[in-house]
Structure formats: structure tokens, C-alpha cells
Amino acid sequence: MSSSQTLSVVVVAYRQREPLVNCLRALGLAAQELQRSDQNEISAVELIVVDNGDLSELISEASPDALLLKPDSNLGFAGGAQLGIEAASGEWIALVNDDATVEPDALRWLVQAGERDQRIGSVAAQVRFEGDRDRVNSAGIEVDSLGLATERLAGRPIADAEEPREVFGASACVALYRTSMLRELTGLDTRFFAYLEDVDLAWRARAAGWSAVYEPRAIAYHRGSASSGEGSATKYFLVGRNRVRLLARNATTRQLGLLWPAIVLYDLAYITYTALTDRNLAALHGRIAGLREWRSLRREGRAWRREVALCSPWTGWIQSLRQHLAYRRAAGTGRGGL
């Protein structure tokens, strides 16, 4: 590996003010720690901040050395992150949510984990709830054969998340990506706007032969759904639409043929649940929007679609419930969104 490796860190800023400042300050400390370490060959860290919400003045004050990108409109997380990825010059790219803060040694551990094997395309951090630091928010992504994507170990005690291991993918809340993998896969699909874009990327990466690992020593803290609101109609719509897009692009014909009754049953149950608890049909409307694109997305996905290892069916039901309860507990609002 070259002795002049660069790590690019991309933050998409939207609405957050105090959390964003905390995020940027923590990244500054982590960048210093990474460059001081003699256990990796990162010689430079560039910080790229995409301003999706008229926060340029605040960003410049908090991180005057950051490369500030200001699109003409709000690109969502997926579009903003992809804009940052395209501007990055590093051999590694870390994505960090604007409402997440990393421990000073988190970037160092992420890079060390990624450097263990050339086929490691992404590294997942141990993300804990900001409001409940003894519990896991994410330890990587899991996907079952019904296409249900969940945050691995969400809501579990941090003692359950101490072992490094291979995972399906990394949650883009705090994740490290190999730039060559992102270039090969053309990065994030900006049409997702927000939610499940990291799962789509992970699924395509698995189909292409890339692996993902979880590094428990890379610790971060996350507020969770601070931009769209936990249990909001906006989040329900986006998750519903993007779930259909995820299946259309990545699920094999065999998978859909065998499991479509269970997939439909889950979605009907979910729509009913959200309609009763949150009194809106946004989850239904999102799925309808996704179904309108089904045929074109199926054709599009032929280029990369392959059989990949997924969790057993119904696993996602259980983990979705656990995740829902964990998010509701962390939010402290009595509401939650999956």
C-alpha cells in the first residue's frame, strides 16, 4: 500500500446545528488521532461537508479547513453523500451522519479493519444510541430473504457487540468504504434520497464479490432520525418506496418466486400497523410509488443481480420489532419508525 494514503470523510449537513458542530469537532480529533498512529499508512485526512440546509456559515466556523459543497437544492442523504464521494480524493471514504459523533480512535480502527484484506469493501462501526449509550444502535446491516433490512443488534446491550465479524454491509450512519469499490459500483443510488441507500449499496457489493466487516472498537454515538423525525410520514413514505426499489433491483427471480406471499404478508401487516399507530397511510403510498417503477428497476438490476447469502425468512420480522422498540425507547416519544 502507498505511504501517501488519504482518507476522505463525508458529512451531509441538513437542519442540525449543535449536533453538526459536535460531529465536526469529533471528526477533527479523530483525524488527528489517525494521522498520529504508526499502525496505518494514512498520511492525510480531508473533510468534505455537503450543505443540504443553508448551514454554510456554521460549517465554516466549526471546520474552516473543510471542503464545503453547496448544491442548488436539498439532494437528500443519498444525493448529498454521492456528491461528496465524487469530490473525494482518498483511497478510503468514510460517511458520518451529521447527528453522529465518533470516538477519537474510531477512524483509526475502521481503516485498520479495512486494510486486512483487499476484498473488504466496507467496514461497519459500533454505533450506540446517543441517549442510551449502553445500547447498540447499529453493528452493521442484516438483510433476510424477505428483503427486510435491519440494523444488526439494534437495542441490544453493548456487551453483545464486542466480537468483530463479517456482516452483510455497513450502516452509512458511520461507515468506511473502499473507494475502488464505490467506483466499481458507481456509488450510492441518488434516487433513494434517504433510507436504505446503504442497504442497496451493500447488496450490490455482495453480488459483486466484495465483503463487509464489523469493527467493534470503532465506536460512535447517534441521535437517530433527527432530520426526518422518528415515526414521521416522510420517513414511512421513503422507507416504503425504497423497500420496493431495493427488492426490484436486487432480489433474484427465484427469491421473489418462492417468497412473494410472505413478502406481501409482511408489507400488509406493516402498513396496517403504521396506519393504526400513527394514523397515516404514508407507508402504503411509498410502496405504491415504488411499484410504479418495478418493471424498469427489474430490467436495470439485471446487470448485477446475483444470488447472495441472506438471513432466513422471518428473521427480519423479529429484528424489526426489536429495532422499533429500541428506537422508540431512545427517542423517548412513545413513537417509532422502522
One DSSP character per residue, 254-313 reads HHHHHHHHHHHHHHHHHHHHHHHHH---HHHHHHHHHHTTHHHHHHHHTTT------BPT
* Mean pLDDT across 279-288: 97
Report the distance separating Cα 148 and Cα 247, nearest Å.
9
The pLDDT, as a whole number, for residue 323 is: 87
**Choice between 202 and 37, residue whose per-residue pLDDT is larger:** 202
Predicted pLDDT of residue 4: 73
- Give the containing element (helix H, strand E) for 181: helix 179-185
- Range 173-193 average pLDDT: 98
Position 274 scores a pLDDT of: 92
Query: What's residue 333's pLDDT?
Result: 38
Helix (H, G, I), strand (E, B) or coil at 191: helix
For the stretch 189-201, pLDDT in tens is 999 999 999 999 9
Contacts of 111 (CB under 8 A, 6+ apart): 7, 34, 40, 42, 92, 176
**Sorting pLDDT into bands at 50, 70 and 90, what band is 335?**
very low
Grade residue 2 by pLDDT with cuts at 50, 70 and 90: very low
- Region 257-275: mean pLDDT is 95
Return the ∠ at Cα 20 (arms to 112 and 179), rounded to 5°: 35
What structural domains and CATH numbers belong to the chain? 5-222 (3.90.550.60), 233-331 (no CATH)
Is pTM, for the whole model, over 0.85? yes
What percent of the chain stands above pLDDT 70? Answer: 94
pLDDT digits (tens, 9 = 90+) for 10-53: 999 998 899 999 999 999 999 999 988 777 788 899 999 999 99
Residue 282's pLDDT band, with cuts at 50, 70 and 90, is: very high
pLDDT at 3: 55
pLDDT of the residue at 328: 78
Distance CA 230, CA 38 (A): 41
The stretch 291-297 carries a mean pLDDT of 98
Q: Please tell me which residue, 335 or 76, carries the higher pLDDT value.
A: 76
Q: How far apart are the first and last CA of the chain?
A: 40
Q: Which residues pair with 219 in a beta bridge?
A: 126
Task: pLDDT band for 325, please (50, 70, 90 cuts).
Answer: confident
In the Cβ-directed half-sphere of 71, how many Cα atoms lie within 13 Å? 20
Cross-strand bridge partners of residue 144: 311
- What mean pLDDT do residues 128-144 have? 96
In the predicted model, is pLDDT for residue 96 greater than 90?
yes
Q: What is the average pLDDT across 92-118?
A: 97
Q: Kindly report the average pLDDT of the chain as a whole number.
A: 93
**pLDDT for residue 100 is more than 80:** yes
- Please classify residue 186 by burial: count the beta carbons closer than 10 Å to its beta carbon, then call 0-12 exposed, 13-18 middle and 19+ buried: exposed
The answer, yes or no, to whether residue 336 has pLDDT greater than 70, is no
Whether pLDDT at 253 is above 50: yes
Q: Is the pLDDT of residue 230 over 70?
A: no
* Phi, psi torsion values for 149, nearest 5 degrees: -100, 130
Comparison of pLDDT for 4 and 177, the residue scoring more? 177
Contact 334, 328 (CB under 8 A): yes
281's grid cell? 397511510
